[in-house]
Structure 1
Amino acid sequence: MSPYLELKRECYEANLQLPQLGLVLFTFGNASVVDREKGVFAIKPSGVPYPTLRPEDIVIVDFEGQAVEGARRPSSDTKTHGVLYAQWEGIGGIVHTHSTYATAWAQAQLDIPILGTTHADHLTTDVPCAPPMSDELIQGDYEQQTGWQILHEFERRGFSPSEVEMVLLGNHAPFTWGKTVEKAVYNSAVLEELARLAYLSCTLRPEVPRLKDALIQKHYERKHGANSYYGQS
């Protein structure tokens, strides 16, 4: 019996949530789950439609993207996931989609500005958009360089992946992550909603002001701070 059955099942269930939440069209996305004790992660196979996906189709790979178990070829984004898992030890799951509004902001090469309290409930910054990759890097190991593109942008901005669990890649699309793959899926859905609300707000009022610092801190701290009081104890 495979030692990765539970890991495959968890990855399978996370991937199925993406079309259910309206975050992917056809095969435009993937979710992965890491097992750090074993030094591997599970990821969706490349190009397999979600309606036909089965738990046994999920591929197990190491952090270099080499297959450990599975008959299918892993997602074309596997090396991106591998770089993030190798460099950010605190994350347990990663999701990549081409969801409509988040991808539109990415294609426009724009950060998603923090305009309202829905945004501040989840993070205290704009959603960062990394600049498009250079031609030289595109011609190299593109998927691996995509992971480094994210890492370098977070280093440049001084962001922590535990505090900002989402990013846009210029001309490309969003990635999200979390301590668990469930949180990564949640963050992917939240990101799409933040992108939609920001787009609508900027359409209604192009000069819309950013959310006040006091409201940013209040809404973030009441949900995530040491004295948070959102939800049940």
Structure 2
Amino acid sequence: MYSSIKEEAYHCNMQLPKLGLVLFTFGNVSVSDRDKSVFAIKPSGVPYEELSPNDMVIVDFDGRIVEGNLRPSSDTKTHAVLYKHWDGIGGITHTHSTYATAWAQSQRDIPIFGTTHADHLTTDIPCAPPMEDDRIAGNYEYETGIQILDHFKNHNLDYKELEMMLVGNHAPFAWGKTGLKSVYNSAVLEQVAKMAFLTEQINPSAPKLKDALVKKHYERKHGRNAYYGQ
């Protein structure tokens, strides 16, 4: 019944070590079936080389296990919150990739320094502040999802336009219309984070990309008259 999203989730999770986005079991990808209001996600703590499609766990949008013999990722409730509140996203990727996580630990947005960043976004990549103590002591993974939602709401951000962010002192999250798009966005986030780090090492006073270049690079890929690609 759920073989399609299990296969897709497995394939997406296997991209993470190939792309250098995870070490050991430091990450997960989920893929949703919105018609059935469920998603498939990596089981908790299982090394990637030991995974199979049948190991993927099916969970509903309230975080309840629907099918599977293994415990789902410890981040499952965070994924569930995002699927439940954000229509249209089909996949979510969470990693502890080195450079993006370093920015999260620094509690800093990633500045838009160059055209690589602007090819994908027109703004800095936001970093939510660290979670309050009472929320940490409560339903932590659920509260992480609420923390992401609140940051987007409080800063008037659009999750359909900005498909990635950092959670302060934690790590990056990315999403997209499909599981593979969420993995792609996670890889872009890591590369942009690395470039921004190196930029500040070379020139601590480096200015942000000027508006004209932001507009040009974003719109040539995403605007009404986009001409990038075939």
| Alignment TM-score, normalising by the size of structure 1 | 0.98
Amino acid at match of 1:148: I
Tell me how far apart the structure 2 counterparts of residues 26 and 229 of structure 1 sit (CA, whole Å).
40
SS of 1:94's partner is strand
What's the CA shift for 1:188?
0.4
Q: Which of 163, 187, 198 pairs up with 2:196?
A: 198
Distance 2:220 2:163 in 1: 18
Q: Deviations over 1:24-72 (max 9, x none)?
A: 0000000000001111000000000001011111000001111100000
Moved over 4 A (4+): none
Q: Distance in 2 between matches of 1:89 and 1:78?
A: 17
Where structure 2 has 5 or more consecutive residues not aligned to the other structure, the ranges are none
3-state SS of 1:83 partner = helix
1:148, distance to aligned residue in structure 2 (A): 0.5
> CA offsets per residue over residues 51-109 of structure 1, 9 Å max, x none?
10111110000011111000000000000000000000010000000000000000000
Counterpart of 2:191, as a letter, is: E
Aligned mates of 2:110, 2:188 — CA distance in 1: 12
Identify unmatched segments of 5+ residues in structure 1: none
In 2, Cα distance between the equivalents of 1:108 and 1:188? 18
TM-score by length of 2: 0.99
Over the matched positions of the two proteins, sequence identity in percent amounts to: 67
State how far apart, in whole Å, the 1-side matches of 2:167 and 2:102 are. Answer: 11
Q: CA RMSD in A?
A: 0.4
Aligned residues: 230
Q: Which amino acid aligns with 1:26?
A: F
Q: Helix, strand or coil for the counterpart of 1:230? A: coil
- The 2-side partners of 1:201 and 1:82 are apart by 36
In the alignment, the residues of structure 2 paired with residue 86 and residue 192 of structure 1 have an alpha-carbon distance, to the nearest angstrom, of: 26
CA distance in 2, matches of 1:148, 1:14: 25
Q: 2:66 aligns with which of 65, 68, 76?
A: 68
**1:217 corresponding residue in structure 2:** 215
One-letter code of the match for 2:103? W
1:165 aligns to what? 163
Paired letter, 1:174: P
What SS class does the counterpart of residue 164 from structure 1 fall into?
Answer: coil
Residue 157 of structure 1: how far off its partner (Å): 1.1
Q: Distance in 2 between matches of 1:116 and 1:142?
A: 35
